Structures are given as structure tokens and as C-alpha cells.
Amino acid sequence: MKAQDIMSRNVICVDMDMRLPEVRELLEKNGFHHLPVTDQGKLAGIISDRDILRIISPFIDSVSEQERDIDTLNRAAHQIMTRQPITVKANTPIAEVVTWMQRVDISCVPVVDDEDNVVGIISWRDLINHATF
């Protein structure tokens, strides 16, 4: 089995300059945990919901909110993304994908073509959904 056999194909990507409120909304609205970040259509990084939680002030929308808390929302995707994420090609064997995910303790891997265009994404959920026991 290859990456192309289990990858999610309709990948929503965000631009490097997209602001965090929009990124957070896309994650929440679609139930995603990861969003690839692109620069002129090419993969530049990846943002996880954990990255968002780590960077946005917990006081947003609370009575304790201050100006510095609101400033955390003004960051762009490129300021918090993980740069140079591990990627695989569509023809990469699933065993290799699993090895990478275990070795570096990541929960998703973007699938790219030879020009670094995102063609899919594989998460641990995709692996579980396609597991044969």
C-alpha cells in the first residue's frame, strides 16, 4: 500500500500571510488538526491546532483580556508554522510513512509532488482508518 492509497486528497492550505484568527477558524470549522502552509503554491510549513493553542493568549474573549492578548492574534501563519516539514511522495510505501511518523513523533505528513505542491496529507487517523488487523 502506498501513500496515495490512503491520503486525504482535498487538502485545504493556508497562505503564509494568513492571520491566526482565520487559521483557527479553518481548523475549527473543518475539524482539522493540521493545515499545510504554502508560499506561491509550494509547501513552506505546517500549522497544528497545538501550535495555535500554544501561541494564542488564553485570555482572549475573557474579562481579563488585555491589549497584549489581542496582539497574539495579529501573527501570520509563517510566524508560527513548523518550517521544512517532513514530506512524502504519493508512491511512498505506508510502512515508510509510519516509520517517519514514529521516528520524529509527528501526527501527520504532507504528501507532495516533485515541485513541492501539496497533493494530499496523511494523519494518524488515516492510518488507523485503513489499518488491516
Q: pTM for the complete prediction?
A: 0.86
Q: What pLDDT is stored for residue 132 in this prediction?
A: 64
Helices (H), 11-131: 20-30, 49-55, 67-71, 77-80, 94-104, 124-129
Phi-psi region of 27 (alpha: psi -120 to 50; beta: other; left: phi over 0): alpha
Nearest to 43 by CA among 112, 126, 107, 127: 112
Residue-wise pLDDT tens digits, 30-56: 999 999 999 999 999 999 999 988 887
Domains, in order of start, for the chain = 3-129 (3.10.580.10)
Cβ neighbours, 10 Å, residue 1: 11
Q: What pLDDT is stored for residue 59 in this prediction?
A: 74
Q: What pLDDT is stored for residue 129 in this prediction?
A: 87
Nearest to 13 by CA among 29, 27, 3: 27
Q: Give the DSSP H or E segment for 44.
A: strand 42-48
Q: Which residues of the chain have pLDDT under 50?
A: none
